[in-house]
Structure 1
Amino acid sequence: MLRFATHLWFDHEAVEAAEFYADLVPDSHVDRVVAAPPGVPGAAPGAPFFVDLTLNGQQYTFLNGGPLFPFDSQVSLLLLVDTQAEVDRYWSALVADGGKEVQCGWLTDRFGLSWQVVPEALERLMADEDPAVRERVAKEMLGQVKFDVAALERAARG
């Protein structure tokens, strides 16, 4: 059987992160938590070792691997949403409790994982046939931190 899943290395917060993300994202759930067997470096026997979860139909495996490999912004999870209300809801939840706003729809959550919260309008506007529309939208986008759909739409109209 072939299984494809995104694998993310956490210091020690894999279960906490999995439960947080599964509660945040619709149609998501923690599938299983596997305990560390004896002899795993940095893990107490019986402590959570890896977590399988499904986020909106996509499979992930989170590992409690210790502090050897912290997250960086080279990898991010992208949430493509329909409305400004969704941008605001996900953004607020992900930056809460120690997360950090970055730029252009990017943020880092309290676990150090990078996310992009992107409204569908941005993808649609950046694919407009008119290069002047794409240029105005890109300029507006580059000046934003959390995306503002109304401002992106205004930029598109000129």
Structure 2
Amino acid sequence: MSDIPKISPFLWFDNNAEEAIDYYTSIFKNSKRFDVSRYGEGGPGPAGSVMVAAFELEGQRFTALNGGPLFKFNEAVSFVVNCDSQDEIDEYWEKLSAGGEPGQCGWLKDRFGLSWQIVPTILPELMQTGDAEKTGRVMAALMQMTKLEIDGLQRAFDGA
């Protein structure tokens, strides 16, 4: 029986898949690289460059393809990084936004154009209380933030 998951993200890069894999595996401590297929002579990519490569970040398997400039990432697909502390949010935000661009409400684009959401694990607890007033305050606070701040969300929840 194979340890390859039934469903996993397949990421299309122009010509920098290997650079992206190195970047992502340097950010996430629990990461692995798997099989790499390289272009040979006469292939559509430079000989020796990555054609397709598999890697894993925090237990999630990915495949990267150097497919050329035909397709680009956009915000319709993003990856959520659930963080237990503000330090963890700060670390992932800093590393993933370096060379990219911050967005609203914990969203950012990394330097490859891939969208990420850096989110505290406490957020569902703050948003799903059944108390519309508390939820509204948390949502209003969240909408004012780029990088999410747990203390600010908690103060909004508490009405402070």
TM-score bucket of the superposed structures, by smaller chain: over 0.9
* C-alpha distance in 1 between matches for 2:28 and 2:71: 25
Output one character per residue of 1:14-53: Cα deviation in whole Å (capped at 9) or x when no partner. Answer: 1111111112112111112210245543x12332111100
Tell me if structure 2 keeps the 8 A contact 1:15–1:33.
Answer: no
**Are 1:48 and 2:50 counterparts?**
yes
Which aligned pairs between 1:80-99 and structure 2 lie closer than 5 A?
A: 80-96=82-98, 98-99=99-100
Question: Which residue pairs with 2:142 in the alignment?
Answer: 141
Amino acid at match of 2:23: F
Deviation at 1:127, TM superposition (A): 1.3
Alpha-carbon displacement from aligned partner over 1:114-141 (angstroms, at most 9, x marks no partner): 1000011212201113121111101111
Point out where structure 1 has 5 or more consecutive residues left out of the alignment: none
Matches of 1:40 and 1:74 in 2, distance apart? 31
Cα distance in 2 between the residues matched to 1:126 and 1:17:
33
Give SS of 2:122's match.
helix
Task: Please give the alpha-carbon distance, in whole angstroms, between the structure 2 residues aligned to 1:124 and 1:22.
Answer: 30
User: Which residue of structure 2 lines up, in the alignment, with residue 14 of structure 1?
Assistant: 17
Determine which of 62, 65, 76 is the counterpart of 1:63. Answer: 65
Flag structure 2 segments of 5+ consecutive residues without an equivalent: none
Please give the alpha-carbon distance, in whole angstroms, between the structure 2 residues aligned to 1:92 and 1:47: 29
Q: Distance in 1 between matches of 2:126 and 2:85?
A: 14
Q: Which residue of 2 aligns with 1:25?
A: 28
TM-score of the aligned structures, taking structure 2 as reference length: 0.92
Equivalenced residues, count:
156
3-state SS of 1:68 partner: coil
Name the CA distance, whole Å, in 1 between partners of 2:78 and 2:42.
31
Question: Is the Cα–Cα contact under 8 Å of residues 87 and 118 in structure 1 kept in the other structure?
Answer: yes
Contact 1:133–1:157 (8 Å) recurs in 2: yes
Superposition RMSD in Å:
1.4
Question: SS state of the match for residue 60, structure 1?
Answer: strand
Partner of 1:5 in structure 2? 8
Identical counterparts, % of pairs:
40
User: Could you tell which deviates more after superposition, 119-128 or 57-66?
Assistant: 119-128
- Which secondary structure does the structure 2 equivalent of 1:147 belong to? coil
Matched AA of 1:15 = E
